[in-house]
Each structure stands twice: as structure tokens, then as C-alpha cells.
Structure 1
Amino acid sequence: MKPLLLLDVDGVLNPTGRPTPDFRRYRCTVDGTAYTVHLNQRHGVRLLELALAAGAELVWATTWEHHANDWIAPRLGLPSLPVIAMGPDDRAVSRHGEMFKTRRVADYVGDRPFVWFDDQVYQEDENYLRARQGLGEFLLIHVPGEAGLTSRHLDVAREWLTLTGLSQGRSWEK
């Protein structure tokens, strides 16, 4: 059972703060709306390295949904990735104060182990996932949106995958 590496775009791969010089600015249009994104191509290389080392599958967990494959993946050197459908933002349905994406993630991952990189995952999201029956092991990595994904976040994921026996393509037992 391959672990999953779940990726958000805004705040993780596209920082909300002032980007450092290793980020490149892109303009894209999604459903008639123009966006400016700042992306660091090194992120694509590092994520692919992590996925390969861990025997993991990269998956989009973003409100960009399939647009991430059109606009983000090619600019980072990533292949087209599976997408978790997010649908509308229905915050009113929250049970533990979790964000709306958390329920979609739980439905998608099932009992597969996963690491989730997002700038909006907090204790409430972890509480919801821990209370959810049938989920596998997981690690939520809160990425501060101002700076976005760093080597430290990737190292934490790699270490967790190694310590839990999920890296190197080893099978995982509950």
C-alpha cells in the first residue's frame, strides 16, 4: 500500500508572502479569472525525490483541483497527478472545527497512510482525522503560507515515512 503525499498549492507551493529570488512569477487564467503565482522549480525536483525515496504517490489536495495539472505541475516539472475533488467550500458542515478540505481528504485516502502539506491544517483537522474510523496513519505538515514549502518540511515528511516503515516501498501493517 503506497503512502500518499498530498499537496496544496496556495501557501505551500505558491507562498502568500514576498517570494525569494528562486521563485518565478507566472500569470495564469482559470475559468476566466487571472492569477499570479510564484513557483520554485526546485520544489518539483524535491517532491519527486521524496516520492521516489518513499515509494509514495503525489496527489493534489487543493482547490485548484485539475487546474493544478494544467498550470502548476508543468512549471514545477511534475507529471499530471491524481486530484482530490474539493467541491464547494461548505464550512458550515464542520464537526470539529476542521476546514472543509479535511473531509474530502479523509474520503479520498481511505486506509492509505499519508502526509499532507497544507498551510491551513491545524489541530482541529488532526482531531477530525483521528476521530474518523478506518483511516490509516498520517502526518499533517502545517506549512506557513508566507514562506511556503521548505526543505525542513520535506525532511520531516521523509523522517516520518522512514520511522513508520513507510519509505522504500515497504508495506505498512496496521
Structure 2
Amino acid sequence: MTTSARPLVLLDVDGVLNPFHRPSSRFDRHECVVDGCMYQVLLDERHGAELRALAEDTGAELVWATTWEENANTEIGPRLGLPRLPVIKVTAGAGVADGPLFKTGPVAEYVRGRPFVWFDDELTSADWEYLTGHPDVGEFLLVEVDPRSGLSGCDIDRARDWLAAPRA
């Protein structure tokens, strides 16, 4: 397991960058077409600048960890002013009741010992247990974002503090 590589910041879209309800007028409504289907998303363009600053200030690499997969690079990132980001291939599907999120296995395989922060709205103790017990997972911070309001300044500050802390 290597921890010499840059830390990662893993980004979900729905519930994190696209909250379930419009929490404030800062969020603009956008229409996205994915595989011929129209979706409406609520995005706050300031999130892009905040995430870029988080990555630059901490030396972290931003990565999509969302069922939007590559569509996040074409439909979400440009609206937030984010560059093209690496994508963790996750398989959309139902998780096991009381088990880890369906994305947790692919995340564990992707990180390969690199420290990471994961912003998601569906994380539970089962995800923490799975990641803690996985041999290729090093240090991590799970940030459970409130899907009603989406990513907050407090969530970003928590990630910044954790990424800035010395690593073992």
C-alpha cells in the first residue's frame, strides 16, 4: 500500500452537488440530457471554485464517484467550472440492506492506499466498516452530505482540515 501519491477527493453528484431541493437562490436549475433522457439538476457554481481551491490548497486530486460517471464530465463539471476529472466506474444498482453502498467496492479498488475524502449523501457505518477492513484502503474521511442542502462550507472545511493534517 502506498501513501506517497496525492490524496483524493471523491465527488458524488446527486444529493451532494445537486441537492434534492433548492436550498437557496445560489442554486441554478440546469437541464441535462443523458442517454436521451432529460434531467433537471440544481447546481451552485461556487462549488466548482471551492472544490478547485480545496484540491489546490491540499495537493489533492478531484475524482468523480457518481452514477453519472463520464456524464459528470460533460454535464456537471463544465457548469461548475471544473476541469475534466478521472471517473471511478461504479455500477448503479440496489445495495444490500444494511450493507455498504454499491459504490464502496469500486471506491476501495480505485484508491489503492491513497488517502481520500469521500463526499456522498448515502454513506453509513457499513461503508466505513467495509473500507476499514479492505486491504488496499489507507486513511480516509467519509463526509456524509445532507442531501436536502447539498455540499456545505462546513463539509469542505472538514475535508480541508483532514487533508491538511499530517499523515501516518
Q: Common fold, TM-score beyond 0.5?
A: yes
Counterpart amino acid of residue 160 in structure 2:
R
Letter in 2 for 1:39: L
2:124 corresponds to: 122
- Mapped partners of 1:28, 1:90: distance in 2: 24
Q: What percentage of residue pairs aligned between the two structures are identical?
A: 52
Query: 2:46 & 2:93 partners in 1: Cα distance?
Result: 31
Aligned residue in 2 for 1:157: 159
2:26 counterpart residue number: 22
Whole-angstrom distance in 2 between the partners of 1:71 and 1:55: 25
| 1:73 corresponds to | 77
Partners of 2:115 and 2:138 within 8 A in 1: yes
Deviation by residue 1:97-149 (Cα, 9 ceiling, x = unmatched): 10100011001111010000000011110011011113110000000100000
Aligned-partner SS, 1:134 = coil
Partners of 1:90 and 1:154 in 2: how far apart?
Answer: 28
Give structure 1 stretches of 5+ with no counterpart. 166-171
Aligned-pair distance for 1:55? 0.2
The one-letter amino acid of 2:74's match is D
Does structure 2 retain, via aligned residues, the 8 Å contact 1:19–1:38?
A: no
Kindly indicate whether the alpha-carbon contact (under 8 Å) linking 2:118 and 2:143 is maintained by their aligned counterparts in 1: yes
What is the CA deviation profile of residues 29-50 of structure 1, one whole-angstrom value per residue up to 9, with x for unaligned ones?
1001110001000000000000
Q: Partner residue of 2:47?
A: 43
CA-to-aligned-CA distance 1:58-84 (integer Å, 9 cap, x gap)? 000000000000000000000000000
Q: Distance in 2 between matches of 1:57 and 1:100?
A: 22
**What's the Cα RMSD here?**
1.3
Give ranges in structure 2 of 5+ residues lacking alignment. Answer: none
1:55 aligns with 2:59: yes
The alpha carbon displacement at 1:91 in A equals 2.6
SS in 1 for 2:149: coil
Using the TM superposition, give the Cα deviation of residue 90 of structure 1 relative to its aligned residue in structure 2, in angstroms.
5.4
Q: Tell me the amino acid that sits aligned with residue 106 of structure 2.
A: R
How far apart are the structure 2 equivalents of 1:81 and 1:155? Answer: 21
1-side partners of 2:133 and 2:25: how far apart? Answer: 42
- Number of aligned residues: 164
Taking structure 1 as reference, are residues 73 and 2 closer, same or farther at Cα in structure 2, changes over 3 Å only?
A: same
